[in-house]
Amino acid sequence: MTTTKPCAEQVSIVTGASRGIGLAIAEALGRLGSHVVLLARHAQPLALAAARVATYGVETLPLTCDVQNPAAVRDAFAQALARFARVDVLVNNAGMGIFGPVQEISDTDWNTVLNTNLRGIFYCSKAVIPQMIRQGSGHIINISSLAGKNGFAGGSVYCASKFGVMGLSYCMAEDPRGYGIRVSVICPGSVLTEFSPQAGKDPKKMLQPSDVAHAVAMLVQQAPQSFISEILLRPTQKP
Mean residue pLDDT of the chain comes to: 94
Q: Give the mean model confidence (pLDDT) for residues 209-226.
A: 95
User: H/E element holding 156?
Assistant: helix 156-174
Q: What is the pLDDT of residues 186-208, one digit of tens each?
A: 999 988 776 655 556 677 778 99
Q: What is the pLDDT of residues 72-131, one digit of tens each?
A: 999 999 999 999 999 999 999 999 999 999 999 999 999 999 999 999 999 999 999 999
Which residues, at least 6 apart from 77, have a Cβ–Cβ distance to it below 8 Å? 13, 87, 124, 127, 128
Task: For residue 131, give the 3-state DSSP assignment.
Answer: helix
Catalytic status, residue 158: yes
If pLDDT is split at 50, 70 and 90, which confidence band does 238 have? confident
Q: Cα–Cα distance between 4 and 15 in angstroms, integer?
A: 26
Q: Which position among 123, 158, 170, 179 bears the catalytic label?
A: 158
Domains, the chain, ordered by start: 11-233 (3.40.50.720)
Q: Cα–Cα distance between 72 and 169 in angstroms, integer?
A: 22
Q: Cα–Cα distance between 204 and 187 in angstroms, integer?
A: 20
Q: Cα–Cα distance between 219 and 233 in angstroms, integer?
A: 13
Beta strand segments in 54-164, E:
60-64, 89-92, 138-143
